Amino acid sequence: MKHLFRGLIPICRKECLHIVRDRGTLFFALLIPMLQLFLFGFAVDTNVRQIPTVVFDESHTQESRQLLERFAGSDVFQLKSYVSSKEEMYEAIRAGKVRVGIRIPYDYARSLQNGTTASILLLVDGSDSTVAGQAINTSTGVTLRESLLRVLPNGRLPIDVRPSVLFNPATRSANFFVPGLIAILLQVMTILLIALSLVRERERGTLEQLQMTPVAPLGLMVGKMIPYGVLAFAELCAILFVMRVVFQVPIAGSIFVLLAMSLPFLLTVLGLGLMISTRARTQAEAFQLAMGTVLPSVFLSGYIFLIENMPTFFKGVSRLIPATYYIQILRGIILRGAGIRELWQNAAVLTLMGCIAIYMAGRMFVRQKAG
Amino acid sequence: MSAAITAEHLTIRFGDFTAVNDVSFAVEKGEVFGFLGPNGSGKTTIIKALCGLLTPSTGTGTILGMDICRDAAEIKRQVGYMSQKFGLYEDLTVAENIAFYAGVYGIKGQLAEQRKKEVLDLTGIESYMNRRAGQLSGGWKQRLALACAIIHSPQVVFLDEPTAGIDPVARRALWDLLFRLSGQGVTFFVTTHYMDEAERCGRVGYIYLSNLVALGTVRELQQLPAANPIGTTRVQITTANASSVLDAVRRLGGVREATIFGSSIHALIETARIDALKAALPGATVVAIVPSLEDVFVTLTYKIMGDQR
């Protein structure tokens, strides 16, 4: 056992000295995730509100104005401008000034009075699917409600939905986005720190020197993982603090369970960083490889897009991404108050992934040494 | 005397490329063995194989009687290694670098203190203990690297181009250190490009295109038949302006090699043509000389290049 980890303590001690000496790297490593947290935490709002809308009202009647008021009252549409021709409406959308156009025909009021169907045109800019979807849904709801109110004699709806949103009652985007963001920020920071530290040794020739000493591969790797793991853990605590205090995201579950379940994720990303460092010859290469892990972790982990909606192949891919499991842990504990009983499988998968990553990194390291 | 380092028919291939081809030699205990050869000829590869970092394709070797394939772990504890890049952590102080390598070799407590004192006395780096390694001059970096490489009292030390880019005074200081240690029984295997360094070594090996083409003491190499082809003589031509007559000498019939050494020309010339040479250069003195080590290696290299063609 001692044999397997030979050199761990001196490596660990030396790595701490590097961290303390290189204040610049330390500062940026800790500051940049924090800056990004602030940036994305404040900027990202997935709720679609106040879509700029252009109106072409040919009817100019009390009825048409009433309908438009209902649109404006939904908070989804912002009636920004009024035009007097079809072409102007189309042009405004194409220019990107507005995203939706509503055209009420000249016979709108007459049709309502005659009892025939009055059709109104909704022109939607499809270049942003979220906005388009929201616009269509809301307009359908608004017109359906308006229609029902017209046909029902006493003006009372037979069924009324009262939505009650659990775990995030105000449907605040920060509650949804910040916990996921933690996984991404932690991953980038940790992979970069450990991969660069090993590749730097290769560039400067100290790795060659170490290979001539009795230091065991695991001694070297674990010796580096410990200080950078501690650093990443400290950053996690700081991020959670900012999330709670600045973004007012309550932590529904146990913070201790959350911190404990973060350890397997740190293990995995440290292992990934080590794997990258065995492949990269230069720091620039290591940086690119580390950045290459970001996009899959953002798009295929369920951070932004629902895994349930993905094609089968990508569902499989998402199961191979560590961030998938950690985001489930984060959201589970922070938003839903879940605990070990519900989330232990995620932690177990991450632990397994971490062990595999470190084992692979060790093997790649030994094989490359020979080549 | 027993051999500290041996290589027996060592061959190392990387895919189709043969980096080291059937190399055999033995280095005695306490010897300073010089290893020369152009860049990429296989010097570093041989060192890596002897230290157990590479497994030879065929052949074998021993360090202090231990097999390089089987006892790689033990060998690493017993040998020291210092490369051209020095392997120092530039953001760590001299003391921290020494302490780190002591830790890596598992030297602790009393022994660590004692060894630290010994390497400090030897290298004289004590007054820089709190300076960052990156702030040291090349010569001091080299001494620190040596201190780190011998902190565990290795009996065999490999030095891979230890003096590249170091000023002559620092180079001489390093060699003085090596000889002091070799006097204590430490064996040195030194690669270098400098002929004057090679000439200090007890024995020298010359590797060219993956083959060990010469091996022996400096004197033995100077007498090698391949370096002194039959019917030729190596001469030193001393003349007023050597550089201006060099081309003329090279064009002369029977001159195989000619190059400038300071204010004279060293030439390898067919013995029968010496009189013609003297006649062509009135006022120059022409004397027969023993080839320098550089002459030997250049002649050997030309011969191999000629044989390949």
Q: Where are the domains of chain B?
A: 28-52+70-215, 229-290
Distance of residue A205 Cα from the nearest chain B Cα, in angstroms? 5
Mean pLDDT over all residues of chain B?
90
Q: What is the pLDDT of residue A342?
A: 93
- CA nearest to B160 within chain A: A209
pLDDT at A368 over 70: no
> d(Cα B168, Cα B292) in Å, to the nearest integer?
20
| Domains, chain A, ordered by start | 8-44+171-370 (no CATH), 51-151 (3.40.1710.10)
Min distance A370 CA to chain B CA atoms (Å)? 5
Is 90 exceeded by the pLDDT of residue B276? Answer: no
Tell me the average pLDDT across B94-111.
94
Of B232, B237, B280, B239, the residue nearest B258 (C-alpha): B237
Is pLDDT at A24 greater than 90 in this prediction?
Answer: no
What residues have CB less than 8 Å from A115, skipping those under 6 apart? none
Find, in chain B, the residue whose alpha carbon is nearest to that of A13.
B100
Give yes or no for residue B5 having a pLDDT over 90: yes
Can you give the pLDDT at residue B91?
A: 94
Name the residue facing B87 among A6, A7, A209 (closest C-beta).
A209
More confident residue, A94 or A158: A94
Tell me what pLDDT residue B188 has: 96
CATH topology of domain B229-290: Alpha-Beta Plaits (3.30.70)
- Mean pLDDT in chain A? 90
Interface of A with B (CB under 8 A): 6-7, 9-11, 13-14, 17-18, 21-22, 204-206, 208-215, 369-371
In chain A, % of residues over pLDDT 70:
98
For residue B220, pLDDT beyond 60? yes
- Which of B89, B98, B130, B157 has the most A C-beta neighbours within 10 Å, making it the best mutation to test the interface with A? B89
The pLDDT value recorded for residue A271 is 96
* pLDDT over 90 (residue A25): no
By CA distance, what is B74's nearest residue in A?
A214
Distances (CA, A) of A71 to A77, A81, A134, B281: 6, 14, 13, 109
B28-52+70-215: CATH architecture: 3-Layer(aba) Sandwich (3.40)
Token readout for A336 is: 């839903």
What pLDDT, on a 0 to 100 scale, did the predictor assign at position A276? 94
- Checking if the pLDDT of A371 tops 50, the result is no
Is the per-residue pLDDT at A370 higher than 60?
no
ipTM, 2 dp: 0.84
pLDDT of residue B1: 47
Q: Does the pLDDT at position B239 exceed 80?
A: yes
Chain B residues with CB within 8 Å of chain A CB = 14, 51, 53-55, 73, 76-77, 79, 81, 83-92, 96, 100-101, 103-106, 158
Question: What is each CA distance from A76 to A47, A52, A72, B59, in whole angstroms?
Answer: 9, 9, 7, 79
pLDDT at A40: 85
Strands across the sheet with B3-14, in order? Answer: B17-28, B3-14, B58-63, B66-67
Residue entry with tokens 């009652």:
A169
Q: What is the pLDDT of residues A103-161, one digit of tens each?
A: 999 999 898 888 888 889 999 998 888 889 989 999 999 998 888 888 887 777 788 88
- pLDDT for B116: 94
| Angstrom distance (rounded) from CA B150 to CA A341 | 55
- Residues of chain A neighbouring B51 (CB-CB closer than 8 A): 212
Nearest to B43 by CA among B10, B16, B65, B69: B10
The chain A residue lying nearest B150, using CA atoms, is A213
Alpha carbon of B213: minimum distance to chain A alpha carbons (Å): 26
Q: What is the pTM of this model?
A: 0.82
Residue A1 has what pLDDT?
A: 53
Task: Please count the residue pairs, one from chain A and one from chain B, whose beta carbons lie less than 8 angstroms apart.
Answer: 68
Looking at residue A369, its pLDDT comes to 56
Look at B91 and A371 and tell me if their CB atoms are within 8 Å.
Answer: no
Mean pLDDT (whole number) for A192-201: 93
Question: Residues of chain B with pLDDT > 90: what percent?
Answer: 49
What pLDDT was estimated at residue A28?
A: 85
Beta bridge partners of B267: B235, B258
